[in-house]
Structures are given as structure tokens and as C-alpha cells.
Structure 1
Amino acid sequence: MKILFLSQVLSYPLDAGPKWRSYYVLRYLAEKHQITLVTFVRQQDSPAAIAHLESFCHQVHPVLLTRSRVRDAMDLASALVQNKSFLIQRDDLGMMHARISEIVAQETFDAVHADQLSMAHYALPLKMRRVLDEHNAVWKITERMGENETNGLKRTLLTNEAAKLRAHEARMMTQFDRIITVTPQDAQALTFADAPPRAPFKTIPICIDPATLPFKERTASARNIIFMGGLLYPPNVDGVLWFARHALPQIWAKFPDAKFFIVGARPPNSITALGEQDSRIQVTGYVQDPAVYLDQSAVFVVPLRAGGGMRVKILDAWARGIPMVTTTIGSEGIETISNENILTADTPEAFAGAVIKLLQDDAFARSVAVRGRAWVEQNYDWKKIYTAFDEIYPPA
């Protein structure tokens, strides 16, 4: 089949959660079909990254997406005036519409694959089979952020945005021939009584390539803690602040020398301030290869209080052999066995206690890590699991 693949991010290198989904779906589909990729790129994206995608895609068409606080403010004002979703308005660019129109005028495709909600509206004018891969139920993430927000104005804006996103996602459910979700929970959140989908949802989880992520044995002296994730994503910021303010002091009472590595691009002032206030907290910013921090860490934390979809960071840590503590929301959508391949806690006291248990008991920590590695190999290896896409895009 000839598939037009629309992506909101350049899916390589694998340095952000959404890229893992997009990249391995591209890799799998390109083995059996002819893929034309149309993707937003940012200023920092390299020609080498585009060239890598060109090595297995038929064609790659980059479209520059620029972001700034001024432009975000303008898009927010426009969205409020027009009663539209800010997140959708922000990524609605005439240049992308024009590029897609040029491509489909020159070539015929069997299907268009919209990767993430923000690319869905670009597929609507196209007269071909339409498939939407929903990485998250976006409205649900925004609703949860509003529930956790203490600032009254921000809470109101988030609540209103969630309502607009819910209406937009409901409409998208009726416009596509197939909808893919990454978790059953997202499928449930995207099931609207007043907007039934054209076809049943198909759930295919985010997967990784465990073979590229070697299992590391923990050194006897390792007592450090790591969080890894993009810090432009508000739920990550909220979770890190919650952990640092409420759980970390309890851990330091037992292990005063333990360092906390916060590894992720574009940390806001609230996060960088943590490192300025205590030298045991290291805020790294963007790191091309996080292995240097992962190798020094004894526990991986996923302290999320909002979010949706799947946390690729859990799959990554499982593969590398780092035992984890997560909240219930943090592991939502991922099959886990609590106290066997992961520890789950939802209060600061319980979260700190779980981290302390892993730091104190090396044998228990290793058993959790070994089971995690086996679990990800069995259930989240893209070469095994992504054969599910053959039902949506039958090979010739």
C-alpha cells in the first residue's frame, strides 16, 4: 500500500516519548508498504535525522514549525475568540495544508495515517482511507491537569480547554475509518455516546526495541534517583515538583547523600530552581545520551498525577534494568505486576517508602529489575507486537 504518514514531530532521534511511537510504527509499516512522510520539524532538528528517516521511507517532506511565547499568546487569544482548542489552533499551519495538497496532487495514495490528534484535521480533506493513531486521549490529560491546578485562572483555562478538546476529539472519532489507541483506558475515554466511531477502536501499545537497550547491573554504591522526561510537558513538571517537595525529603532522611537527577529538555524555572536550592538535585536539561545518568541511578521514578496514553520512560527503564516506583496514573495503560516488576504508590509517604525499600534491599531491587526486563521483552517489543498493524494495513 502507498501510505501518506502525517507526523507532528520528527520522530528521530528517540529523545522524547511521542517519537518512540511514531518511529517504530514508521519502521514497521515501511517494511511492508511505501511510506511518504510529511512531518513538522523544529529549528534544532538535524539534516542527519531527516536522512535517517529517508533511509527507509519512500519520501520525507519536512515542514518547519516555529514556536515562541509571543506566537503562543497570539494563538491562545485567537482560540479564545473563536471558541476553539488552543492546542489544535497552535499547530494549524497553512504551510502544512499547502504541502499536503501539493503531494496528493502529484501522487495517489491508498491511505493517510494521522499520527496524533494534532495532525487529524490535516487528513479530513483527503479523499482516501483515513487512519488516526491517538497517542493519548488529549482531553483527559488536560482535564486532569485542571483538577490538580491550584491557580484559579490556570484552572479555568485548563477546564475550558479540556471541554473544547473533548468536543474536537469526539468529532474526529466520526471522521476516520480506523482509530488506533495505545491503551484500553484511552479507548474508553474516547468513546462518546453522541459521536460513535465509524469502526471499533484497535488498541496497539507503544513498543520499543529492547535489543538496543542493554540491561545494566546496579553497582553496590549506587543510591541515586532519576526522573527522565520532556519538561515542556506540564504533567511531568507537576510530577517532579510533587516528588521533590513531598517525597524526596523523606528519602533524604534515610539516604542523605542520594542525588536526584532530573533529565529532560527545556526545564522551566520552577524545575531549575530545585537544583539551585539543593546541590543534591541535578537538573541536566537536554541530554543526547542519558545513559551516563541512568548508569549512576538505583531507582527510576514516575511520579505523575496527570497524563494519558503510555509512559515510554517505563518501558525504557524496564529494558535497562532500573527498578521503578510509579503512581497509578504514571503506569496507566501499561500491564504491570505491582511489587514484582514495578512498585506503585500514590501518596508522598508511600512513594518515599517504596523508593527507600529499593535503595535498602539490593536483592529485592534486582529481582524487580530482572522481571521488568523480561516483561518488556515479552509484551512491548515492536518486532513482535506491531504485527497487529497488518489488520489495518494488509500486506500485499
Structure 2
Amino acid sequence: MKKLLLITDVDFWNGGAGHRVRIGALVSYLGDNTELYIAYIGIVSPMETPRIAELKATVIILDNEDILSPMKYGEKLAEKTKDIRLDAVIIEYIHLSYMLNFVNEDVTMLLDMHDIVSDRTEAFHKFNYGGIIHEMSAEDEFGIMDVYDHVMVLCEPDRKKLYDIIPGKVILCPHPNLVHRRLVRPKVNTITYIASEYLPNVDAIIHFMETAWPLVSAEKNIELHIYGNVCHPLMGRELPARVFLKGYAADINKVYDNADIIINPVRFGAGMKIKTLEALASTVPLVTTAHGARGLEQLAGKGLIIVDNTEDFAFEIQRLINDCLIRQRLVAEAGDFIEQNYGPEKCFAPLSDAIQL
């Protein structure tokens, strides 16, 4: 069995945000198909230990007492993996590429890209949020990518963009989902938004509440339920009528069970949106933006509703509220699409080929 090392500073075992869920799915697949080692850059609390113990991997905490310099973390990695004959290394994400200096050069080196960072940088600046998070120029980013043997991306637009920039290195590995078929209730009572406190998510729901929600709620006794850590920056803010902050939900399936329509009004960012895929797999009618549906454009009107204009966004929600048959058709199409295209084996087949599993 191949020996593979995944290097990350993301506490993915805690779940919640899309990037954690994505890494968790990758780890689950690799744990079933390789002898997997995970090198974690960060400090683990005692409460996290049981969740880490459940992983199908050997987890190496590089230092659980102090936050170290990149050089020190690299030295710790080299020391703790020196006796492991690795076949491949996956880096999560590009900012940890310095770790390649501390692994053997004869291993297959892969970079997992949740987003193209230079695209995200450009989008943040466009919406006047420049300097908020880690930024990178396209020239610097593509230069680092070229060091790797393979670069994993989540969606077809990213694969297409990088295809000629790093020829022969891009592999498309979407995020897998299992379909949970739900009955569509005749009457809509609850519109639901689920998100982390990532800035584009906060921007999205504030913009929605200020612009589209008054139009949606004007004639209907509908409630908007907001779940996840996106609630934290909204606390203390005056909310519109019939908007409720529900916070973190330990059982996300119960959230989808109680939702009649899911929204993802995200306006900017980069990459494929994990929450969009999860909503499709959960077979709850979904209204999102062009950015929220990135990589899923072929489903417009045939699995989800894609619309950017505020008035049109509100109109499409109202249309779904008033037409149960449309809601039933959308979720049936969404479930079929996910079943056919987003199973774990299909999503990670290009990765399996790249590391010759």
C-alpha cells in the first residue's frame, strides 16, 4: 500500500466550514486507500483528541506547545518523518509550500487548491476588502504551482484556467457528496442559510437581509434561519423581522430536514462552493448566485436557480414558495446529478491515477 503524507494547518476534524469538510473527505478517501500520515501545524486541545483518534491515519502533531517559525516546523517535519519511506506528499494549501524543502525530492508532490489565491485576492479587492486575508499575485502563485508534480482543483473553471499555465499538472478532483433524498413539503415556512464566518459569507447574508429579504418577506409569513459560525459577526446587529440566528448545528442533517429553501447569495470569492454542493446533495431547493454556482453552471434551472440581481433573487425565491412542483423538480434533478457525478470514487479517481493507487 502506498505511503502518503498530507501536510496541513487546518483542524479539519472539527468540521463546519467548507474547507474543513473538503479536507475531511479527502482524508477519508486516502485513509481507505493508502497508508496515510498527517502532519499537523498547530496546537491540539484535549477535547479534539477523540476526533483525531477516529481518523484512518497516523497523525503527527509537529509541536503541541508553541507556535513555531516555518523553519522550525520544517525541521520538526523532517525529524518526525525521516524513517517513513513516502510515495507522495499532499500540501494543504499553497502557503505551506515551504514544507517541500523538508521532504525527499523523489516523492510525488501534490498541491491541493481549494481556491486560486490570486483570483480570490482580485475578488476581495473588487469588493473593497483588500488586505483582509492572505494575498498572492498570479505570477507568484503560478510559479509556486509549477514546482509540484500535480495541482488538484475543485472545479472545471479552475482546471480550464490553469491548463495552459502549468501544462500536464492540473487534476480535477471535485468535492464528493452522498445524496440524501428528502420529501418536499407543500408549504414553505423556512428559508435557510448555512455558512462559516468567512468574510464573503458574512457579506452575502448582510447584503441579502438589506436588499432581497424585505421583498421576499413582504407578503409571506416566512422565516429566515441562519446557521453556522456566520452568526458570530451578526450578533448585536439589528436584524430584520422574522430573521433568526441559530448558530452552530451539531447535526447538519436536521437543519436540512427543517429547511424548505436554501439560499447562497455569495457575491465574491474564488473556487467551488462546498455549501452549494451540500445543498444539492441534501435535495433542498437552492437559490444562489453565479459565483455560488461556480463549476455547476450546467444546472441553471435544472437542479438549482442561479441569479445575481437582487430583485430577481427575491422573485425566484417567491416563485419557489408559490410552486411546489418546481421545487420537486429541482431537487429530483439535483439529486440525480450529484449521484451521477459526485461520488467519492469518481471525484478522486484522477488523484488515484496520479499517485498510482
- Quote the Cα distance in structure 2 between the aligned partners of 1:282 and 1:64: 40
- Spell out, residue by residue over 1:92-144, the C-alpha distance to the aligned partner (whole angstroms, 9 max, x if none): 64553233122232322122111222332222442232111111102211211
Residue 163 of structure 2 contacts residue 170 of structure 2 at CA under 8 Å; is this kept in 1?
A: no
3-state SS in 2 of match to 1:321: coil
Aligned to 2:54: 52
Match of 2:202 in 1: 237
CA distance in structure 2 between the aligned counterparts of 1:329 and 1:312, rounded to whole angstroms: 12
Q: Which residue number in structure 2 is paired with residue 343 of structure 1?
A: 305
- Contact map agreement 1:319 1:376 (CA 8 A) in 2: yes
User: How many residues in Structure 1 have an aligned counterpart in Structure 2?
Assistant: 353
C-alpha separation in 2, matches of 1:337 and 1:66: 48
Unaligned 5+ residue runs, structure 2?
none
- Which aligned pairs between 1:269-288 and structure 2 lie closer than 5 A? 269=233, 271-274=234-237, 276-288=238-250
Residue 86 of structure 2: which of 109, 120, 127 is its match?
Answer: 109
Distance change (3 Å), C-alpha of 1:205 and 1:246: same
Alpha carbons of structure 1 residues 354 and 266: separation in structure 2 relative to 1, 3 Å: closer
* Whole-angstrom CA distance in 1 between matches of 2:70 and 2:297: 37
Which consecutive unaligned segments of at least 5 residues does structure 1 have?
A: 72-90
Which residue, out of 110, 113, 124, partners 1:145?
124
* Structure 2 counterpart of 1:342, one-letter code: L
1:7–1:40 CA contact under 8 A, matched in 2: yes
In structure 2, relative to structure 1, the CA distance for the partners of 1:324 and 1:101 (3 Å cut) is same
Task: Considering fraction of residues, name the structure with more helix.
Answer: 1
Distance in 2 (alpha carbons) for counterparts of 1:161 and 1:138: 8
Query: Which residue, 216, 220, 223 being the options, matches 1:259?
Result: 223
Encode CA deviations 1:16-75: one digit per residue, 9 max, x unaligned.
Answer: 21123222222222333211111245656611210111xx22x111357999xxx9xxxx
Relative distance call for 1:372 and 1:142 in structure 2 (3 A) is same
Determine the C-alpha separation between the residues in 2 that align with 1:277 and 1:20.
29
Q: Does residue 209 in structure 1 map to residue 208 in structure 2?
A: no
Counterpart pick for 1:246 among 211, 214, 222: 211
Distance 1:253 1:386, change over 3 A: same
Q: Which residue of 2 aligns with 1:297?
A: 259
Alignment deviations for residues 249-305 of structure 1 (CA, whole Å, 9 cap, x no partner):
1001131x2111111115443x2245x433511122222213333222211111111
Percent identity reads 21
> What's the CA shift string for 1:198-253, capped at 9, x where partnerless?
7431112111233xxx322133343211111111x111111111111111110011
C-alpha deviation, 1:387, in angstroms:
2.2
Question: Is the CA contact (8 Å cut-off) linking 2:188 and 2:260 kept in structure 1?
Answer: yes
Q: Deviations over 1:332-358 (max 9, x none)?
A: 023542112000111100100111111
Matched, 1:168 2:167: no
Cα distance in structure 1, aligned partners of 2:227 and 2:96: 28
Shift of 1:317: 1.2
* 2:76 corresponds to 1:134: no
> Which amino acid in the other structure matches residue 172 of structure 2?
T
1:219 to 156, 180, 185: 185
Which residue identity does 1:258 align to in structure 2? I
After TM superposition, give the deviation of residue 166 of structure 1 in Å.
2.9
Distance in 1 between residues matched to 2:21 and 2:28, nearest whole Å:
11
Partner amino acid, structure 1, of 2:186: A
